[in-house]
Amino acid sequence: MTIKRINKAIKKFNLEVIKGEGYHYFIDITTKEHIGSPVYINYLKDFSMQQWIQEADDARREYDEMYHEYTEPTEEYI
């Protein structure tokens, strides 16, 4: 398992994984902004590729829900 392989798999979320000291984190490829919570593992191989993809998906969803998504109200108020 390499960062290059993980980044290729999570590119669809417009994210890259970056190595910190004792953890990894995601950044937005376009803005270079930190996205989501850190992943506290020492070795990339501690997660399967599917787990990395799920972590990236969760990070992107959380960020988009907080900062970009607006849901129209379902009820009309007069």
**Mean pLDDT, contiguous 10-residue spans, the chain (78 residues):** 95 94 93 92 92 94 76 45
- In the prediction, which pLDDT does 7 show? 97
- In the prediction, which pLDDT does 73 show? 43
**DSSP code, position 68:** T
- In the prediction, which pLDDT does 74 show? 52
Q: Is the dihedral of CA 41, 46, 44, 58 positive or negative?
A: negative
- In the prediction, which pLDDT does 63 show? 87
- In the prediction, which pLDDT does 70 show? 41
- In the prediction, which pLDDT does 4 show? 96
